[in-house]
A and B are shown apart, each in its own frame.
Chain A
Amino acid sequence: MSAAKLEVLRIESLRGSTRPFELRFDPRKRLTIVYGENGSGKTTICDALELLGDGAIGWLGSMGLGSGVHQYWPSVGASAADIVVELKTTTGSWRARVGGRQVRVSPPAGAPNVRILRRSQLLRLLEALPSKRYEELKRFIDVGGVEASEKALSDLLLSLERQQTDVNARLDEALHGLEADWQAAGNPHASAVAWARREVTEAATTSEAQLKALQRLHTAHQTLTTYPQRLLVAQDHLAKSQQELVGAEGEHRAAVRVAEDRADELVRLLEAAQPLLGTTPPPVACPLCESQERAAGLFEAVRERLDRLSSIRAGAERVSSATKAVEHERANLQRLRDDYASDAAALWALCTSGESQAAEELPKASPPTALEALTTWLDATQRLSEAWRERESALTGREEFLASLRGRLESHDKHLSLSQSLADLLPRAKAAHQLVVERRKLFTDEILNAVSEEAGRLYEIVHPDEGLGKIHLALDEAKRASLEVEATFGAQDGVPPQAYFSQSHLDTLGLCIFLALAKWEQPEETILVLDDVIGSVDEPHVDRLIGMVCAETDAFQHCLLTTHYRPCREKLRWGLLDVGECHFVELARWTPETGLQQIGGTPDVQRLKTLIEESPPDLQLVASKAGYVLEAVLDFLTQLYELKVPRKQEGRYTIGDLLNGIDGRISGLLRIEVVAGGSPEVEREIELGPVIANLRQIAQMRNVFGAHFNELSFQLLDSDALSFGQKVLELAEAIVDPEFGWPKKDRSGSYWETVGGGRRRLHPLRRPAS
């Protein structure tokens, strides 16, 4: 596998990292187990990787902190701008910084792909509603984009089907209309469509101009018909006005005769003088003779005389008015004659211009010049006007029929063409839609089936022969984005695991499903982060679970597993877990002052060596640690070979009990072969019998120096205690490989060997028969 190896993760001002923290990875190992008690900062390391890979810290978002969750990313007292997460690998280095709510990773290309599973997610994977479960897993199986495009295709299909129904209905409608017309026409030609096409293309067409000429002809004739009556009215008005004038003139002459001589002129003179006399102040002299005599009261005198002459004045006004009326009526009559002449000329122009070809008959003579002769002419031409009207109506009806026929034919042709296009398009749209739907289901089913199978395989590793498994994942097609999980429980298939499985089994199942999904998506480019996911797994299964996780790590670029499970730490320190090549990191308890702190995870064998090498050595610590390590070695050997030890409550065996269990027959056969890494060659052999025999002689050093205060130790040499420590170290280093732990695998069939290539081989495979 050529994926880049992780070298160092640097974290500043993120969550618990109140001080800069560096996690250096072992480049030879693909699995890093981070152990720490609660509150040691394990999750901060996971947060850092998630920030780098996903640009957010997902679990905080589900803690009810609202939309401003990013404000809780920095360490206490730091700001978002202070946050730095940097991951260095063998191929590059990526750094995440926070600006506002945005996380910027530079360089953006090739940024690490991180898949993270936390304890809280684990619960949601199985316990949540199917839709929530889908949310947790959708990044692996979400094809929402394609589903949206599929929906658009489905919409098109529905739309085309509706169009086809509509087009066919319109086509039928047009065809029925044409057939009705065709039948009304007596079924000429072979079909309604052929007949209609011929009708609209070959039938003589009447121009709009001809129809309008007929309309104008008829209107012009109708206009002339109004003139005789209008002539009578005008003549009558003239006669009456003339009569009125004659009467007025007579009455006026009679009034003048009875009045003083030249009364008429006098009235006009007085009327002219009245305004001159009515001024204020009144004139001091007569304006006509300039005499000042009797000037006073002259105005009143003129008014009295005018009053007396008023009938003459009224008669004059009536004559004037009657004269104007006569002139007016004469003018009206003349205008009528002029209008007639014009309208008559217009009608005759229509008749003679050639525009009125549509009229089958026209007047033979023009309208008479004299209006008085019009009635005779109108009587002679009235039937022609009616004929023009009928002709116009008939032509208009024909045009409307042809327009209707043309419309139906056009509708028929248009919808026939559309129907043919849809007939081509619709099957293609159906085929495309069916293909997309089938492919999408197949794609998702393939993923889910493969993931189900893989999850079942992983689950079987952790829970062998328990009759639980046969995982089945399926998307609910009716609900979309809804993931169903079924499993086998006992002999019953297809049960919801939430209903029957224990919490521990559910957690394991969730982890197996997550791992199977993560493996599906380019795992060799994926950093897998499992944050505290083994906390609730019960003791009998935890070793197998960790073993399974470690074995699956090979598929990924790297795997980081955090745990606060203490037995896990102890077993790892003693190499009792089959974890292969694992990098073990232990965190100290976190404080705001220290931030995250890595502490030495030194195994006890290494610690013993260090104690022996100290100058001067602390004999009590050397003897104590040596006794502790010796107990572990003897416990391992007696269990491996099923040797006899005294049965005690809670298995509290002394070193003496355990040493006595390794009797002479097995002791003489115990032998270690040390094999160089990557080579089948045996580098050296170590006989364990002499070492154990020696230890049997000096084992009391543990109690004398290491276990209790007693004066006996004063009488012994320092080298006695050191010798005990060195012999225990010799035995432990012979048996325990510093990387791969204890030789517990019997797959060779002839010896026990360590995992990871069998760098320690312990002989014999079985204790000799007694």
Chain B
Amino acid sequence: METPSERLAELILERLVEQGLVLPRNTKRLLARLAKGEMNAQDWRLELEKATKHEEES
């Protein structure tokens, strides 16, 4: 059974991808980490930078 954190993490990632703040290909990996509280500041920075780089390249 999904926990409230897992359900919320799904909703958050959906919106982050929509707004181009996170790359869609990374959501599966991020979902569990976001829900379990395993995202640290450097992880967030990396994901945001990847999305920025992807946007600049495309």
Evaluate contact between A143 and B1: CB separation under 8 angstroms: no
- Interface status of A417 (Cβ within 8 A of chain B): no
Interface bits A148-170 vs B (CB < 8 Å: 1, else 0): 11001101100110000000000
Evaluate contact between B12 and A145: CB separation under 8 angstroms: no
Interface bits B33-52 vs A (CB < 8 Å: 1, else 0): 11111111111110011011
Evaluate contact between A153 and B1: CB separation under 8 angstroms: no
- Interface status of B26 (Cβ within 8 A of chain A): no
Evaluate contact between A425 and B40: CB separation under 8 angstroms: no
- Interface status of A476 (Cβ within 8 A of chain B): no
Interface bits A414-454 vs B (CB < 8 Å: 1, else 0): 00000000001100110110011001100100010000000
Evaluate contact between B4 and A425: CB separation under 8 angstroms: no
Evaluate contact between B19 and A435: CB separation under 8 angstroms: yes
Chain A CB within 10 A, most for which of B1, B12, B49:
B12
Interface bits B1-27 vs A (CB < 8 Å: 1, else 0): 101111111011001100101100000
**How many Å lie between the Cα of A431 and that of B1 in the bound state?**
31
Q: Which residue from A113, A142, A148, A159 sits with its C-beta under 8 Å from B4?
A: A142
Residues A95-147 near B (CB distance < 8 A): 113, 140-147
Q: How far is the CB of B51 from chain A (nearest CB, A)?
A: 7
- Interface status of A251 (Cβ within 8 A of chain B): no
Give the dominant DSSP class at A's interface. helix
- Interface status of A522 (Cβ within 8 A of chain B): yes
**How many Å lie between the Cα of A51 and that of B53 in the bound state?**
51
Evaluate contact between B11 and A443: CB separation under 8 angstroms: yes
Q: Which residue from A142, A148, A428, A436 sits with its C-beta under 8 Å from B12?
A: A436
- Interface status of A525 (Cβ within 8 A of chain B): yes
Evaluate contact between B5 and A146: CB separation under 8 angstroms: yes
Evaluate contact between A428 and B48: CB separation under 8 angstroms: yes
Evaluate contact between A141 and B1: CB separation under 8 angstroms: no
Evaluate contact between A428 and B51: CB separation under 8 angstroms: yes
Evaluate contact between A144 and B44: CB separation under 8 angstroms: no
Q: Which residue of A lies closest to B5 (CB)?
A: A145
Residues A506-524 near B (CB distance < 8 A): 521-522
Q: Which residue of B lies closest to A158 (CB)?
A: B41
Q: How many residues of B contact A (CB 8 A)?
A: 32
Evaluate contact between A146 and B8: CB separation under 8 angstroms: yes
**How many Å lie between the Cα of A526 and that of B34 in the bound state?**
26
Q: Quick one: given A149-B33, A153-B41, A522-B1, are A440 and B8 in contact (CB under 8 Å)?
A: yes
Evaluate contact between B5 and A429: CB separation under 8 angstroms: no
Evaluate contact between B19 and A153: CB separation under 8 angstroms: no
Q: How far is the CB of B5 from chain A (nearest CB, A)?
A: 4
Q: How far is the CB of B43 from chain A (nearest CB, A)?
A: 7
- Which residues in A have their C-beta under 8 angstroms from that of B6? 145
Chain A CB within 10 A, most for which of B22, B38, B40, B41:
B41
**How many Å lie between the Cα of A339 and that of B40 in the bound state?**
71
Q: Which residue from A140, A147, A155, A428 sits with its C-beta under 8 Å from B41?
A: A155
- Which residues in A have their C-beta under 8 angstroms from that of B36? 145
- Which residues in A have their C-beta under 8 angstroms from that of B22? 432
- Which residues in B have their C-beta under 8 angstroms from that of A525? 1
Chain A CB within 10 A, most for which of B8, B22, B49:
B8
Evaluate contact between B5 and A143: CB separation under 8 angstroms: yes
Evaluate contact between A113 and B5: CB separation under 8 angstroms: no
Interface bits A515-556 vs B (CB < 8 Å: 1, else 0): 000000110010000000000000000000000000000000
- Which residues in A have their C-beta under 8 angstroms from that of B49? 425
**How many Å lie between the Cα of A141 and that of B3 in the bound state?**
9
Evaluate contact between B15 and A435: CB separation under 8 angstroms: yes
Q: Which residue from A432, A435, A521, A522 sits with its C-beta under 8 Å from B44?
A: A432
Evaluate contact between A425 and B48: CB separation under 8 angstroms: yes
Q: Quick one: given A428-B52, A429-B44, A432-B44, are A439 and B12 in contact (CB under 8 Å)?
A: yes
Q: How far is the CB of A187 from chain B (nearest CB, A)?
A: 37
Evaluate contact between A425 and B45: CB separation under 8 angstroms: yes
Evaluate contact between B34 and A145: CB separation under 8 angstroms: yes
Q: How far is the CB of B42 from chain A (nearest CB, A)?
A: 8
Evaluate contact between A156 and B11: CB separation under 8 angstroms: no
Q: How far is the CB of A126 from chain B (nearest CB, A)?
A: 22
Q: Quick one: given A149-B38, A152-B40, are A143 and B16 in contact (CB under 8 Å)?
A: no
Q: Which residue from B9, B41, B42, B45 sits with its C-beta under 8 Å from A145?
A: B9
Q: How far is the CB of B44 from chain A (nearest CB, A)?
A: 5
- Which residues in B have their C-beta under 8 angstroms from that of A522? 1
- Which residues in B have their C-beta under 8 angstroms from that of A159? 41
Evaluate contact between A144 and B37: CB separation under 8 angstroms: yes
- Which residues in A have their C-beta under 8 angstroms from that of B1? 113, 521-522, 525
Evaluate contact between B52 and A147: CB separation under 8 angstroms: no
Evaluate contact between B4 and A432: CB separation under 8 angstroms: no
Evaluate contact between B21 and A435: CB separation under 8 angstroms: yes
- Which residues in A have their C-beta under 8 angstroms from that of B42? 156
- Which residues in A have their C-beta under 8 angstroms from that of B3? 142, 145
Chain A CB within 10 A, most for which of B16, B22, B51:
B16
Q: How far is the CB of B41 from chain A (nearest CB, A)?
A: 4
**How many Å lie between the Cα of A439 and that of B43 in the bound state?**
20
- Which residues in A have their C-beta under 8 angstroms from that of B4? 140-143, 443, 447, 521
Q: Which residue of A lies closest to B4 (CB)?
A: A143
- Which residues in A have their C-beta under 8 angstroms from that of B40? 152
- Which residues in A have their C-beta under 8 angstroms from that of B21? 428, 431-432, 435
List 8 additional contacts besides A146-B35, A152-B41, A435-B21; criterion CB under 8 Å: A146-B9, A146-B12, A146-B37, A149-B9, A149-B33, A149-B44, A156-B44, A435-B15
22 pairs, A vs B, C-beta closer than 8 Å? A144-B5, A145-B9, A145-B37, A145-B38, A146-B9, A146-B12, A148-B38, A149-B9, A149-B37, A153-B41, A424-B52, A425-B45, A425-B49, A429-B45, A431-B21, A432-B21, A432-B22, A439-B11, A443-B4, A443-B8, A447-B4, A521-B4
Residues of A within 8 A of B (CB): 113, 140-149, 152-153, 155-156, 159-160, 424-425, 428-429, 431-432, 435-436, 439-440, 443, 447, 521-522, 525
